[in-house]
Amino acid sequence: MTLHHFILTIHLLAATVWVGGHLLLSISYLPKALKKKDPKIILNFEKKFEALGMSSLALLIVTGIWMAYDFGVTIETWFDFSGGFETVISTKLVLLFCTFVCAICAQLYFIPNLDKYNIRIMAFIILTVTSIGVAMLVLGFTLRYGGI
């Protein structure tokens, strides 16, 4: 196994945790929380998942940048959109920024004040981050065939 394949394996395992955790939250926990209008269901999941999820996200960022450099996509060409690989990596970086915006909004504004009245806003953020994660996963798979 080459170093690139090892880094790819770590990246895929971290993506499994990140995307899988958000799918679990979106499909299983969120509907219950919305039906009962009980923010504790979301908060309890968030407490349990946060350390593992954030560690996975950090691994995704580090391994993703590493692999981008392996593919010859350096910081100078990140937002170039000139070729298949550059387009995928640039799009994933834009989506990563959107994830950060959602996370900051959630952590600073919604989670500390989460109640039955604003749970739908939190649901929107959860579904947005989940959708972004799935989109990034699909984009990553396109690299196998030269990008988009």
Arithmetic mean of pLDDT, 27-56: 96
Q: pLDDT tens, 106-139?
A: 999 999 999 999 999 999 999 999 999 999 999 9
Q: Is the pLDDT of residue 58 over 90?
A: yes
Q: Is the pLDDT of residue 144 over 90?
A: no
DSSP states along 79-107: T---SHHHHHHHHHHHHHHHHHHHHHHII
pLDDT averaged over every residue in the chain? 95
